[in-house]
A and B are shown apart, each in its own frame.
Chain A
Amino acid sequence: MEMAGLFPTAGNRLRLTATVTLVLLTFCFLWLFYDLYAYIAIKGKSPDSEAIGRLAGLGFPVRILLFISFAVLLLKAFRNGFKASLPVIITIITGTASVIAMFFDFAALDDIGNDYLVHGYRCTGEWFWLFGSLMLRMAFYISLALFIVLIMRSQRALTEASGLVVDEALFEATQWVGIVCGMTGVAFTVYAYAVLGDAALKSWLTWLMLFYCAVIIIPWLALVAYWIFRLATKTDRTVYDEKQRHDLAFSGMVTWLSSIPLMAVIMIINFGDESRATAHLWFPFYLFASLLIFSATLLTRFRRG
């Protein structure tokens, strides 16, 4: 009996992962429309708000499963020679933003449950966020569907596993995720400073903001962890080639040089008044700004040659 036939090939595993992702995507797509209905019903203070909200909450674990499945699919696709083309990059960007948005959705729904339904506050910002987040999710689902179709259609043309192709595509993907996380983080810290001001000094709010900052950087950290894992498991330690190392060094220098005037501005804002919100926000801001500059410079250098 042919033993090789008993085990799934790399191509079959990719197809299986694509199918599982497609099934989860279908569920999530339906749930998106349910969420729209739920938000409208809760906003209208429907008497069934409690039950409607509970079912909307059940959608979160399904969404988490979809994100995990998407990450596995992406890695498998790169391993099979799939290129980081424009539709793939759009899927990575909208997917990363959707992962971050999921945590903020949860927080907004929690606020609405307490402040809107119980205490009767308006919660305008929370509603604005939730409906905007639905549009972002819709964009992610559409681009993911397109990504799956591309995988299914081009599977025959894909080459067998090549470490080099994985590195190149993943290298680019890491920078795109870095840009999205960096931009989101900078926007969040500037928003926290501008809107919350000195109220951010309240300890519970400070910890909450730092928690959100940690959430924003999770997608990038996950990819970096994967890189470190590859570096640790590769015997020859040649994860990057010489041009990539050159680009990394250049981007590091640009990031360091630009961080000096950036932090000088923070120091001037904070000068002589250490009680201001920047006392807590300077580090997350520095981290996200550096990540944004580093990833954007590296991606530009890598693509332009």
Chain B
Amino acid sequence: MKLGNNIRRLRFEHNEMSQEELAVGLGVTRQTIHSIEKGKFIPSALLAFRIAKYFRKNVEDVFHLMDDNDISLSERT
């Protein structure tokens, strides 16, 4: 199981917002946003809710669980 996210898509839907702009808005570093987007770092529940609130979405609209099949499919495409 892995935690997938739509942050990259949401950023682009918000006037092609950069990772740095999102980081400044959330009070974290750009590297943190980069790592979450890439799925290398799993954020705390608090940060996940803050990200969702920032985009005015529910948490499940931003983050979703990916099982192994989803991961291998996404890696192939």
Report A's interface with B, CB cutoff 8 A: 162, 164-165, 167-168, 171, 238, 241-244, 246, 302-305
CB pair B41 A238 closer than 8 Å:
no
Closest A residue to B32 using CB positions: A243
Query: Can you list, as one digit per residue, whether each of B30-49 has a CB less than 8 Å from chain A (1) or not (0)?
Result: 11101100101101100100
| B22 CB, nearest partner CB in chain A, Å | 11
CA distance A125 to B32 in the complex (A): 47
Count of B interface residues, CB-CB < 8 Å: 17
CB pair B29 A167 closer than 8 Å:
yes
CA distance A244 to B44 in the complex (A): 13
CB pair B28 A241 closer than 8 Å:
yes
CB pair A241 B24 closer than 8 Å:
no
CB pair A241 B27 closer than 8 Å:
yes
The listed residue (A171, A242, A303) touching B43 by CB distance below 8 A is: A242
CB pair B27 A305 closer than 8 Å:
no
Taking CB atoms, residues of chain B closer than 8 Å to A241 are 27-29, 32
| A160 CB, nearest partner CB in chain B, Å | 11
Report B's interface with A, CB cutoff 8 A: 20, 23-24, 27-32, 34-35, 38, 40-41, 43-44, 47
Closest A residue to B41 using CB positions: A243
Closest B residue to A246 using CB positions: B41
The listed residue (B27, B40, B43) touching A238 by CB distance below 8 A is: B27
| B3 CB, nearest partner CB in chain A, Å | 14
Total residue contacts A-B, CB cutoff 8 A: 41
CA distance A244 to B47 in the complex (A): 14
CB pair B38 A164 closer than 8 Å:
no
Taking CB atoms, residues of chain A closer than 8 Å to B38 are 305
CB pair B35 A164 closer than 8 Å:
no
| A73 CB, nearest partner CB in chain B, Å | 22
Closest A residue to B23 using CB positions: A164
The listed residue (B27, B43, B47) touching A164 by CB distance below 8 A is: B27
CB pair A305 B31 closer than 8 Å:
yes
Taking CB atoms, residues of chain A closer than 8 Å to B34 are 305
Taking CB atoms, residues of chain B closer than 8 Å to A165 are 20, 24
CB pair A303 B31 closer than 8 Å:
yes
CA distance A242 to B32 in the complex (A): 8
Taking CB atoms, residues of chain B closer than 8 Å to A168 are 29-31
| B46 CB, nearest partner CB in chain A, Å | 8
Taking CB atoms, residues of chain A closer than 8 Å to B44 are 242
* 6 sampled A-B residue pairs with Cβ under 8 A: A168-B31, A238-B27, A243-B29, A243-B35, A246-B41, A305-B40
| B24 CB, nearest partner CB in chain A, Å | 5
18 further contact pairs, Cβ within 8 A, besides A243-B29, A244-B29: A164-B23, A164-B24, A164-B29, A165-B24, A168-B30, A171-B29, A238-B27, A241-B28, A241-B32, A242-B28, A242-B44, A243-B28, A243-B31, A243-B32, A243-B35, A246-B41, A303-B31, A305-B34
